[in-house]
Amino acid sequence: MNFLTKEDVKNSFYDGMFANMFTTLTGGMFLTGFAIYLGMNESLIGVVAAMPFIVTVFQLPVSYLIEKRGRRKRMVLWGAGIARMTWLLILTAAMLPVSSPTIRYLLIVGLIFISYAFLSAGNVAWLSWTSELIPDEILGNFFGTRNMLCALAGLIATVIFGNLLDFMKNYFREDQSAAFGVIFVSAVVFGVMSLYFLNRVSEPRRCAVTTDDRSFRKLMELPLKIPNFRNFLLFVFLWNFSVYFATPFFILYWLRDLQFSYSMVAILGMLSSFADIAGMKFWGVISDKVGNKAVLRVTACGVVLLPLIWVWVEPDNIILPILLHIGGGGVWAGVTLCTGNLMLRISPRDNRSFFLSLYNIAGGFGAAAAPILSGLALSYLIPPDIHILSGTFIPLHIVFLLSALMRLGSLFFLRYVREPGESSLGETIRVLRKVRVMNMSKGFSHILHPFMEISKYMSQRNN
């Protein structure tokens, strides 16, 4: 087994940082703002939000090619390269003179679908490739550090380009095409820089070709024959459905209903990113001590509460959104990190790409169906104003409340997932009380000098 070298770690971190800058500028508030600028309604915004998850179905044939032919690095580079360059076509489509907005919408949505399809195919190859290079005992520390740096890069992109978008919006008034042009072209540049560093990461020799001569269907059924992994897939589907029933509409809620500026959303995103950066490091260390499932149980409970609290935020309330983004960033860091690491811990290394694909497809189906259904409900089913007792609720409030209830219900299914060496809730709480990984001196040195983590990682690997 070949593990990451020091140079590989450095290039993987740089790749992740630039890749996350690309992802930040082509998603989140920038994509929602772009959709609002084009005049898309809630149902169409829901369809766009579902795109990254609908395309996970393409990961199955890619997994088969990975196991039969290898060459994961080549698949990642081609998939990510095409996905990123497609955004130049999306920008061009937005500026084309067309007779009907519907034609423009269909063209843009179709190109977004193509971009996400190639990106999804590349992602499963990347995770299969990278997971083989990292020993299980430091999985949490490596991905925690890498995700921390990715969040920091995304934070920088959000703040700089969020303020730029507000400035150009005020300067050009109604015409925001120039602002989104600068943002999307910059995103493609960052995406190309990511590919440069990704190309410098080594690929394990094992990657040649599998000796498994089973058919595609037989290999696809492998994960479903393991009861524990099957239970995990059910949890991931239900959890993602409950989360993405509301998540794509939070930015719409902030920009349209709470009247936040792009700068305000960027500042909130910055606070969330700082909490995410600290959380990735913190939960990465904790998960190596008590296991991923234990951390997931604790942090997911915090995620359940978030949409409930957003219902009570008023347009002139600044303090509560700040607290929600700080707290939300911290708990979401644990959920994001430990869900992926739990999947790696309970899946075998042999034919792992099929396990990765079914994991992404299960979560993708839940995350794809949810915003489409909630978008349709917002557009056609839920009345504009709903009066309950002495309160008045808008349609998005109902979506947030339903999301919170479904998140709580989906956690029930996590109890049926077993992780090797998992800790009890009591043991997790005892470890949380004792740990002091993010004190003032260590916390800031990790952020100011992130590549100190490389030496730490390499010494752990060699011991």
What tokens appear for 456 in the block? 């730490």
| Average pLDDT value over all residues in the chain | 80
- The whole-angstrom separation of Cα 242 and Cα 403 is 5
pLDDT score recorded for residue 69: 66
Separation CA 414–CA 346 (nearest Å)? 13
Residue 386, phi then psi, degrees to nearest 5: -125, 125
Q: Among candidates 348, 371, 138, which has minimal Cα distance to 240?
A: 371
- The percentage of the chain sitting over the pLDDT mark of 90, rounded to a whole number, equals 22
**Strand positions, DSSP E, 195-338:** none
Tell me which range, 3-12, 152-161, 295-304, 436-445, is most confidently predicted by mean pLDDT. 295-304
Look at residues 82, 147, 148 and name the one whose alpha carbon lies nearest to residue 120.
82
What are the residue ranges spanned by the domains of the chain?
6-454
Provide φ and ψ at 78, rounded to 5°.
Answer: -70, -45
CA distance 297 to 302: 9
Residue 331, pLDDT score: 92
The amino acid at residue 354 is F
Query: DSSP code of 57?
Result: G
Q: Among 181, 172, 148, which residue's Cα sits nearest to residue 442? A: 148
Q: What is the mean pLDDT of residues 9-16?
A: 87
Q: For residue 158, how many other CB atoms are within 10 A of its CB?
A: 25
Residues 6+ apart with CB under 8 A from 246: 307, 374, 399, 400, 402, 403
pLDDT of residue 222: 77
The pTM assigned to this predicted structure is 0.70
User: Which residues make beta-bridge pairs with 386?
Assistant: 393
pLDDT beyond 70 at 228: yes
Helix (H, G, I), strand (E, B) or coil at 388: strand
Q: Which of 42, 403, 104, 95 is nearest to 255 (CA)?
A: 42
Coil/strand/helix, residue 392: strand
Beta-bridge partner residues of 392: 387
Which CATH code, of 1.10.246.90, 1.20.1250.20, 1.10.645.10, 3.30.1520.10, is assigned to 6-454?
Answer: 1.20.1250.20
Calculate mean pLDDT across residues 29-48.
83
Highest mean pLDDT among 114-118, 214-218, 254-258, 261-265: 114-118
CA angle 158, 406, 120 (to 5 degrees): 50
Q: What is the mean pLDDT of residues 93-101?
A: 81
For the stretch 324-345, pLDDT in tens is: 999 999 999 999 888 988 888 8
Q: What is the mean pLDDT of residues 409-418?
A: 91
C-alpha to C-alpha distance for 255 and 1, rounded to whole angstroms:
50
